[in-house]
């Protein structure tokens, strides 16, 4: 069970835990039991030790940010808001000078905290501003926010003003019952406590059984046409980390966009955006033209795909770990099974890249070694009148991780519709039978499926919704 710092909710009969690392972990529970015992003295400052709700913390943060000490200092406000939100989301252990410098002060990936003290200086100013706020405007506040010296995780606490006054009349010795009359009450209380303890043990036992039952009942339920592909990610293998992209609403245009989309873009000279110099976009794109995106780069397809993937893992008696790409580091990916969704993130098609065959670059899929009937470039297609996307493509890559027993699976479309279609393709028994046969045809013995491979998928798109996906080509990747 999660520790005191974790937050848990029962959603659609499944247990969802937000771990301290920020990873969402889903468990296929069908029962949820809770025993909550709380004693609050009528008088006494121990009221200050009651846990603060997330709502209380957010409200106090809102009041502080609206105060005169912060309202006129946008960067200072952004700093405090950022570290608070990261703490709310369970990412407090990841807060450091570098992350704050890049995210808040836009210092770029080359930011060196030892050379640029901006974060330390601003943290000192925030501590002074908080002290001044709670001395003046917030002097009557029942809550308090502090940023301890040398740390970047804000601390929320109740102030001494929050201790309630006692309103109960004093009890005199003459009003107390004698020892004989107290004995039945003592026995009753002891019996009640014993029942509570037994109830807790029963709840734990039922919870454990609920966790174990699905894995024992449905591990073998995955069809053979799916099991050959997903076997490396299913128990007893390690639970895969599913990484989803963080898409902007205003995105960089690329060669896969239509002329009409490019015509409505907004160009910014590349030299005027030096913070982009170390990004893949700066190297690949000839011009920086930015276009609005409400349906294509929203990651809706990847999100729907996560639902399908988690349902499959639940049926197999496993959990489902999901994390946005911005909060994932390379160590997390290489130390276990990983599934990377969407091409517009650091990891998909960047770190794990096979340029010998299919390769996504600047919004198109390049085919380095076209075979008979194949194109050298696969581009998305658009309706000439409405400019709506009508065809998308996606790549599926099954690669070895640092440990050969682990896998990295990449599923990414040029647009989000391609990603969604590729995930649905991998969940369809008939489609997976066709993929298996195509891969067997590429193996030397024409009998076994190569462990590592690429697959190119295409799908029609109508009204921003992908249709049925089909296989375009496959490549086996040497061990």
Q: Is the pLDDT of residue 25 over 90?
A: no
pLDDT in tens, 177-233: 444 444 444 444 555 555 555 555 555 554 555 455 444 444 446 788 899 999 999
Q: Are 153 and 82 in contact (CB under 8 A)?
A: no
- Mean of per-residue pLDDT scores for the chain: 77
More confident residue, 40 or 133: 133
pLDDT in tens, 52-109: 788 788 889 989 999 999 988 888 899 999 999 888 888 888 899 999 998 888 888 8
Neighbouring C-beta atoms of residue 409, cutoff 10 Å: 23
Segments making up each domain of the chain, as ranges = 7-37+187-220, 49-162, 226-249+293-476
Band of the pLDDT at 435, cuts 50, 70, 90?
Answer: very high
Range of 8-12, 28-32, 237-241 with top mean pLDDT: 237-241
**Which residue is associated with the tokens 């296989």?**
471
Distance CA 75, CA 86 (A): 16
More confident residue, 408 or 10: 408
**Residue 166: helix, strand or coil by DSSP?**
coil
* Torsion on CA atoms 290, 291, 292, 293, rounded to nearest 10: -110
Distance CA 244, CA 210 (A): 29
Instruction: Give the Cα-Cα-Cα angle 400, 401, 405 (nearest 5 degrees).
Output: 75
What pLDDT is stored for residue 196 in this prediction?
A: 54
Sheet arrangement for strand 289-292: 250-252, 289-292, 266-267
pLDDT in tens, 139-188: 888 899 999 988 999 999 987 654 444 444 444 434 434 444 444 444 44
Q: Is the pLDDT of residue 409 over 50?
A: yes
More confident residue, 144 or 11: 144
**Residue 335: helix, strand or coil by DSSP?**
coil
* Burial of residue 34 (number of CB atoms within 10 Å: 0-12, 13-18, 19+): exposed
Q: Is the pLDDT of residue 328 over 90?
A: no
């Amino acid at each position: 069970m999660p520790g005191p710092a974790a937050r848990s909710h029962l959603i659609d009969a499944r247990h969802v835990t937000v771990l301290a690392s920020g990873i969402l972990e889903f468990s296929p529970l069908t029962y949820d039991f809770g025993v909550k015992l709380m004693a609050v003295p009528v008088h006494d400052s121990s009221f200050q030790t009651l846990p603060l709700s997330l709502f209380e913390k957010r409200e106090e943060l809102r009041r502080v940010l609206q105060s005169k000490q912060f309202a006129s200092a946008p960067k200072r406000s952004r700093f405090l808001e950022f570290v608070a939100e990261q703490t709310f989301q369970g990412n407090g252990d990841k807060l450091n000078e570098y992350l704050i410098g890049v995210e808040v002060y836009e210092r770029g990936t080359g930011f060196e905290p030892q050379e640029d003290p901006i974060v330390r200086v601003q943290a000192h100013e925030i501590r002074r501003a908080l002290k001044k706020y709670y001395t003046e405007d917030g002097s009557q506040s029942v809550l308090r926010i502090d940023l301890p010296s040398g740390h970047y995780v804000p601390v929320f606490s109740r102030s001494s003003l929050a201790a309630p006054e006692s309103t109960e009349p004093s009890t005199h010795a003459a009003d107390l019952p004698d020892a004989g009359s107290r004995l039945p009450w003592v026995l009753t209380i002891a019996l009640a406590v014993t029942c509570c303890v037994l109830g807790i043990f029963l709840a734990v036992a039922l919870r454990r059984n609920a966790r174990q039952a699905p894995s024992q009942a449905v591990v073998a339920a995955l069809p053979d046409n799916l099991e050959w592909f997903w076997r490396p990610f299913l128990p007893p293998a390690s639970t895969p980390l599913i990484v989803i992209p963080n898409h902007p609403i205003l995105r960089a245009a690329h060669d896969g966009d239509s002329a009409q989309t490019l015509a409505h873009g907004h160009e910014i000279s590349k030299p005027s955006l030096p913070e982009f110099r170390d990004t893949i976009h700066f190297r690949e794109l000839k011009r920086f033209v930015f276009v609005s995106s409400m349906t294509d780069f929203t990651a809706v397809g990847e999100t729907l795909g996560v639902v399908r993937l988690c349902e499959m893992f639940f049926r197999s008696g496993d959990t489902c770990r999901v994390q946005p790409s911005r909060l994932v580091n390379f160590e997390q990916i290489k130390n276990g099974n990983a599934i990377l969704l969407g091409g517009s993130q650091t990891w998909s098609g960047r770190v794990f890249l096979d340029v010998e065959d299919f390769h996504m670059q600047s919004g198109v899929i390049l085919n380095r070694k076209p075979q008979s009937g194949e194109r050298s470039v696969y581009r998305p297609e658009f309706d000439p009148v409405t400019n709506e996307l009508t065809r998308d493509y996606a790549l599926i890559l099954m690669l070895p991780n640092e440990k050969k027993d682990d896998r990295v699976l990449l599923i990414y479309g040029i647009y989000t519709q391609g990603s969604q279609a590729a995930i649905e393709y991998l969940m369809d028994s008939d489609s997976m039978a066709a993929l298996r046969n195509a891969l067997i045809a590429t193996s030397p013995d024409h009998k076994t499926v190569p462990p590592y491979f690429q697959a190119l998928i295409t799908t029609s798109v109508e009204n921003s919704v992908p249709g049925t996906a089909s296989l375009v080509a496959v490549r086996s990747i040497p061990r």
